[in-house]
Amino acid sequence: MRLFKSFCLCFYDAALWDNFTAGSLDKLRSAFVKCIKVFFGYAKYYSVTTMLTGLNLQKFDTVIDKCRSNFQCQIHECENRLYNILYICI
């Protein structure tokens, strides 16, 4: 599980993805599910919900949303630090 989370759940710069089609995102979502099934030995037609629940993993959309949310929090923290620095200097 540690290897899978380290190598397959790292969607670098996912928060910046904005130039894609719905079809390309669907293909990535499908590849995500296929990787989980192959990596953990599930059958092709096994229920995705049951599989994710059993492995205690999140859905693809949740992973992407968390990446975007974390990025926005980092931006706000950076803006606050910059504001504090400028306020102290003035």
Residue-wise pLDDT for 50-73, tens only, equals 999 999 998 988 888 888 887 778
Please compute Rg for the chain using Cα positions. Answer: 18
Retrieve residue 39's tokens. 């990596």
Retrieve residue 20's tokens. 């894609």
Burial zone of 86 (CB within 10 Å; 0-12 exposed, 13-18 middle, 19+ buried): exposed
Distance CA 77, CA 19 (A): 26
Greatest CA separation for the chain: 64
Stretch among 20-24, 32-36, 40-44, 73-77 having the lowest mean pLDDT = 73-77
More confident site: 41 or 78: 41
- Averaged pLDDT for residues 13-23: 75
The full set of domain ranges for the chain reads 19-57, 59-90
Q: Is the pLDDT of residue 18 over 90?
A: no
Check if the beta carbon of residue 62 is closer than 8 Å to that of residue 30: no
Amino acid at 13: D
Q: Is the pLDDT of residue 1 over 80?
A: yes
